[in-house]
Structure 1
Amino acid sequence: MQKTLQAPDLRAHCARILVAAGSSPEEADKVAANLVMANLSGHDSHGVGMLPRYVDAVLEGGLTPNAQVKTVLDAGALLSLNGQRGYGQVVGEQAMLLGMARAKEQGSCILALAESHHLGRIGHFAEMAVAQGLVSLHFVNVMTRPVVAPWGGADGRYGTNPCCIGIPLKQPADVRRAGPPQASTAPSGGSEVHEVTSVGAHFILDFATSRVAQGKMRVAHNQGKSVQPGLLIDEHGQPTTDPGVVVVPQANGFFGALMPFGEHKGYGLAVACELLGGALTGGGTWHHPTVSVRAVYNSMLTILIDPGKLGTQSAMESEAMAFVEWLRKSPPADGVHGVQIAGEPERRARVERERDGIEIDASTWEEIVGAAGKVGMSLTD
């Protein structure tokens, strides 16, 4: 039977498990808050269902609790950092703090973050940037079992390789009065990190370059649901609607694969994310046989731009809002309520799920309870 939990209770459960797995209370609270925010945003694929995998990765030695981001190169508007296989929700925020401060000083920053454990929802980092008035672009690769087939191929060869773009939009007066989320000013390598407490109506485009995120297939499999045609191929390279083909090994021990979105165009963007997020950052690319480990490593190339330093902020604000308003005047297509911009579905979901609670399917909750047991905890409610 599925459970419905309020966000504070779910955060508390997750934080307790993370502490038992070796994290400091501060780190546990940060990771738990990030996971639950993904659920609140409607992205259960990146939410608390990832916690069992994190616990397994810690126990295997592939995820290092309490690791801090390490500066490898500081060359003004160029930063090269290493996440030291720490929780991506923590080292990713530490990296963004350094990059945003540098962009504010110099007008832009190119930030290379290598060898982070799973960064979670990349839109979170874009939300950090736009809250400070910065444009951000993120290219990410995924180093774990390859789950996406190249266009024209019949097996998994790379990860879901997300791409994300955040663009600040001028806010209505009531949002501006509320002020932006407060960021810490932790020094390089410090443990204090930024937390987004409120997000205005900015443009946040965040998507996997596969037709659907791997985590969404895990959720569908746990719920016993089939998925729409065109998303998957099975272990023989044939189309299927069974999400289990990319979640559990099939009869021959092999897995199926996700398909790239947009055919050759999405495939091309996925390759760009692998080359920019993996090769250029120094984090590495996937080109070896599959290994059976639970750790998920991400490397991310981030470009941050301060429109104020560029001298185009006023023009950007007026032109961006004029374009958004132009889009909204398009007559609604049949069966929909009207035009949206990227970021709106997540903001709407947060309001609804904060009010109504977060639904966790029975299989996912059982996995979370099992993860608690692995670190000597009992989680019964």
Structure 2
Amino acid sequence: MSKTIQAADLRQRVASIIRAAGSSEAEANTVAANLVMANLSGHDSHGVGMVPRYIDAVLEKGLTPNASVRTVVDLGTLLTLDGQRGYGQVIGEQAMRLGIERAKQHGNCIVALGNSHHLGRIGHWAEMAVSQGLVAMHFVNVLSRPVVAPWAGGDGRFGTNPCCIGIPVQGREPFLLDFATSRVAQGKMRVAHNEGKEVPTGYLIDEFGRPTTNPGVVVVPQSNGLFGALMTFGEHKGYGMAVACELLGGALTGSGTWHRAPDAKRAVINGMLTVLIDPKRLGTQESFSQEAQAFVDWVKQSPAAPGFEGVMVAGDPERKARVARERDGVVVDDTTWAEIGGAARKVGMKE
């Protein structure tokens, strides 16, 4: 079972819980708006279902309310930033604003952000950049229980390690590629588990390294206390990209990589390497605009394959989902809604 909730009501509910956990009103509103935007965009895995985990992380002191980004190194076009374990929805916005300002000033900027709590949907940060006419590339690692198996491996060794690329296309909607290097996001398995659904073959292995369609193997401990693992997309290719994100987002930023035994802590720490480029400063702006428009139009002119409405480019599904969900509301399954209620009670709120 599930319930449908309007976005404004959902934002209000989430903000009240985050505020009760110690955040300022401004921070609570920022976190709530970001999470609900993920739901509106069709990515329930990064939406309001994260609230229970955030509250647990605050109570465990792995997530610090009202923290701000701290500048460690500033070389103009190179910024090293420490998120101080603050809410990623706030830290990410602060980091991107600093990077965007420098990229517009100098033509480019590389931002190494470490030690941020969960940054949420990485596409949100690319959207900030493309709205200012900038190209953005993001490489992210995840310090939490390792839930993804390496190619040819039999247990989890790293996180879902997302990669995101945003490219403005003059006269068209921007290209926004945002994907986990696992076959599917961990949060989507949480949603499927809460809804009592199985998933297609090829997504998961169980705690013994065997293929399974049960999403619960990466959500709750199994009979032997162990977890299963997600598979990478594209076999060795996704695995290689996941390692690259770990090395760039974790090692290069100073945020750290995963190389220890799993634990039960609820905090999710992200490192993110961001590269921002202003096309206007490259001397190719005119041809870039013309060629980008021409290519996007060319691709979309391909006849629809059987069973499809037509060709889309990255970013189109999210934009389409936002229109529908803003109009019709966001569907939240009863298990997730009950978990959100439980999080509210943990911080002293009444139903």
User: Structure 1: which 5+ residue stretches go unaligned?
Assistant: 173-200
2:150 corresponding residue in structure 1: 150
Equivalent runs, 1:1-381 vs 2, <5 Å:
1-171=1-171, 201-379=173-351
- Residues 111-138 of structure 1 show CA distances to partners (whole Å, capped at 9, x for unaligned) of 0000000000000000000000000000
Secondary structure class of the residue paired with 2:72: strand
Aligned mates of 1:83, 1:151 — CA distance in 2 = 31
Q: RMSD of the alignment, in Å?
A: 0.6
Aligned mates of 1:351, 1:333 — CA distance in 2 = 24
Secondary structure class of the residue paired with 1:138: strand
Aligned mates of 1:315, 1:166 — CA distance in 2 = 18
Secondary structure class of the residue paired with 1:274: helix
TM-score by length of 1: 0.92
- Residues 323-350 of structure 1 show CA distances to partners (whole Å, capped at 9, x for unaligned) of 0111011111111011100000000000
- Residues 246-298 of structure 1 show CA distances to partners (whole Å, capped at 9, x for unaligned) of 00000000000000000101100000000000000000000000011000000
- Residues 223-254 of structure 1 show CA distances to partners (whole Å, capped at 9, x for unaligned) of 00000000000000000000000000000000
Aligned mates of 1:378, 1:295 — CA distance in 2 = 25
Aligned mates of 2:151, 2:279 — CA distance in 1 = 37
Partner amino acid for 1:33?
A
Deviation of 1:95 after TM superposition, in Å, equals: 0.3
Runs of 4+ in structure 1 deviating by more than 2 angstroms, as ranges, are none
Secondary structure class of the residue paired with 2:136: strand
Aligned mates of 2:312, 2:108 — CA distance in 1 = 29
**Same amino acid, percent of matched pairs:** 71
Partner amino acid for 1:40?
L
Partner amino acid for 1:7?
A
Aligned mates of 2:31, 2:111 — CA distance in 1 = 22
Secondary structure class of the residue paired with 1:335: coil
Aligned mates of 1:305, 1:97 — CA distance in 2 = 14
Deviation of 1:299 after TM superposition, in Å, equals: 0.3
Aligned mates of 2:301, 2:2 — CA distance in 1 = 40
Aligned mates of 2:164, 2:171 — CA distance in 1 = 21
Deviation of 1:313 after TM superposition, in Å, equals: 1.4
Partner amino acid for 2:256?
G
Deviation of 1:171 after TM superposition, in Å, equals: 2.4
Deviation of 1:314 after TM superposition, in Å, equals: 1.4
Aligned residues: 351
Deviation of 1:49 after TM superposition, in Å, equals: 0.0
Aligned mates of 2:60, 2:155 — CA distance in 1 = 27
- Residues 72-98 of structure 1 show CA distances to partners (whole Å, capped at 9, x for unaligned) of 000010000000000000011000000
TM-score by length of 2: 0.99
Aligned mates of 1:309, 1:81 — CA distance in 2 = 25
Partner amino acid for 2:38?
A
Partner amino acid for 1:334?
P
Partner amino acid for 1:6?
Q
- Residues 133-174 of structure 1 show CA distances to partners (whole Å, capped at 9, x for unaligned) of 0000000000000000000100000000000000001126xx
Partner amino acid for 1:129?
A
Secondary structure class of the residue paired with 2:109: strand
Aligned mates of 1:96, 1:127 — CA distance in 2 = 10
- Residues 18-48 of structure 1 show CA distances to partners (whole Å, capped at 9, x for unaligned) of 0000000000000000000000000000000
Aligned mates of 2:331, 2:311 — CA distance in 1 = 27
Aligned mates of 1:3, 1:311 — CA distance in 2 = 52
Deviation of 1:355 after TM superposition, in Å, equals: 0.3
CA contact (8 A) 2:171 2:293 kept: no
